[in-house]
């Protein structure tokens, strides 16, 4: 009996062993004997993290290279601008004709610096650049270039180059001065009025012996060589003659809000001094002289009114004249 039980037991054990196998791994799909040469999950995660770090590092290096590239590109651009500006200045020095001005940085300070640097380069007895005004617009003139000794330019902030003002040129003996917000150019026996706001010569008249701006207006009182007096509105280029005896009156002065015309004449061996006075307000009323504020207000509301049919008018001043021998009487 024992002989029978033992073979049965051995057979049962062999059958059980042969039919028993471990299932495949749910995570990897591999059996116990198939893990050889395979990395575990933690090693894969570590390797992925390492690759991500290397990628982030490569991206950072790329961004840094891009910054360096743009920095170098901007630096090269600035160098080119500086070279072009230097070339422009050298051309100004070498030029015999009216020079060409041109810059890239168009803010007011850069324009002024450019002009002053150019002026230093051309400082000599024959050439130069003079900055006249740096207020709302930059006004400057060249000296010793072209056919005329001096040429005026106006340069607006934001513009790459200035505007050459046609007619705003004068010879070496010429000069300029301010009358209100305008520039009076004196050259070759003529006076020209430069309107800076509109960038043009607004009027021209023969150079007088005496000139006086009437405060708050665009009108000047003139005395010419033949003792003729006139009121010239340089904003509108209109002229009005004042009828005074030019054989007697030969001068004028402003005194305490009045215009005093003076002169002399001889009668039967006696010399008389004459004075005729008129208040500025009365003068403005008679000759329809408007203040700058009135002109600007009219232009803003109704537009510029046309001038009278004749540009030149003759109006007689109704003044009281006192005469005396050897005395100054107003």
Question: In this predicted structure, what is the pLDDT of residue 46?
Answer: 75
Highest mean pLDDT among 70-79, 101-110, 162-171, 285-294: 162-171
Question: What's the pLDDT band for 30 if we cut at 50, 70, 90?
Answer: low
Orientation angle between helical segments 41-94 and 108-121, nearest 10 degrees = 50
In 3D space, the residue among 96, 129, 99, 125 whose CA is nearest the CA of residue 112 turns out to be 129
Give tens-digit pLDDT for 87-118. Answer: 565 555 555 567 778 888 889 999 999 888 88
Taken as a whole, the chain contains a residue count of 330
- Residue 233 scores a pLDDT above 60: yes
Question: In this predicted structure, what is the pLDDT of residue 326?
Answer: 37
Average pLDDT, the chain: 77
pTM: 0.61
Question: In this predicted structure, what is the pLDDT of residue 211?
Answer: 93
In 3D space, the residue among 191, 193, 171, 190 whose CA is nearest the CA of residue 181 turns out to be 193
In 3D space, the residue among 234, 121, 157 whose CA is nearest the CA of residue 129 turns out to be 121
Domain ranges of the chain: 81-206, 208-330
- Find the angle CA(132)-CA(190)-CA(127) to the nearest 5 degrees: 40
**Separation of alpha carbons 152 and 121, rounded Å:** 19
| Cβ-count burial 33-50 (b if 16+ within 10 Å, e if not) | eeeeeeeeeeeeeeeeee
Residue 313 bridge partners (DSSP): 240
Return the minimum-mean-pLDDT range out of 78-92, 179-193, 217-231, 283-297: 78-92
**Separation of alpha carbons 24 and 141, rounded Å:** 96
Give tens-digit pLDDT for 56-79. Answer: 887 877 787 777 767 666 665 665
Highest mean pLDDT among 21-25, 71-75, 145-149, 311-315: 145-149
Question: In this predicted structure, what is the pLDDT of residue 7?
Answer: 55
Tell the burial category of 152 from Cβ atoms under 10 Å away from its Cβ (0-12, 13-18, 19+): buried
With pLDDT > 90 as the criterion, what percentage of the chain qualifies? 35
């Amino acid at each position: 009996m024992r002989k029978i039980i033992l073979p049965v037991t051995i057979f049962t054990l062999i059958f059980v062993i042969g039919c028993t196998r471990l299932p495949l791994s749910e995570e990897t799909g591999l059996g116990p004997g198939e893990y050889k040469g395979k990395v575990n999950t933690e090693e894969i995660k570590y390797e992925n993290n390492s690759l991500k770090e290397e990628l982030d590092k490569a991206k950072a290096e790329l961004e840094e290279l891009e910054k360096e590239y743009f920095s170098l590109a901007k630096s090269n651009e600035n160098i080119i601008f500086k070279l072009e500006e230097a070339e422009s200045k050298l051309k100004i020095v070498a030029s015999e004709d009216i020079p060409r001005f041109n810059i890239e940085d168009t803010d007011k300070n850069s324009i002024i610096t450019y002009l002053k640097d150019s002026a230093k380069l051309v400082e000599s007895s024959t050439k130069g650049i003079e900055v006249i005004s740096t207020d709302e617009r930059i006004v400057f003139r060249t000296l010793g270039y072209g056919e005329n000794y001096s040429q005026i330019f106006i340069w607006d902030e934001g513009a790459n180059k200035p505007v050459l003002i046609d007619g705003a040129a004068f010879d070496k003996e010429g000069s300029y001065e301010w009358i209100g917000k305008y520039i009076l150019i004196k050259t070759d026996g003529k006076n020209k009025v430069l309107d800076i706001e509109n960038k043009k010569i607004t009027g021209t008249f023969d150079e007088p012996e005496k000139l006086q701006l009437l405060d708050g207006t665009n009108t000047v009182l003139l005395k010419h060589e033949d003792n003729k007096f006139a009121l010239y509105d340089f904003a509108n280029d209109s002229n009005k003659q004042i009828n005074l005896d030019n054989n007697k009156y030969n001068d004028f002065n402003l005194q305490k809000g009045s215009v005093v015309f003076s002169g002399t004449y001889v009668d039967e061996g006696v010399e008389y001094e004459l004075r005729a006075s008129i208040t500025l307000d009365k003068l403005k009323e008679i000759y329809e002289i408007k203040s700058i504020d009135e002109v600007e207000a009219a232009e803003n509301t109704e537009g510029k009114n046309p001038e009278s049919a004749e540009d030149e008018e003759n109006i007689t001043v109704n003044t009281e004249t006192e005469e005396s021998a050897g005395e100054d009487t107003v």
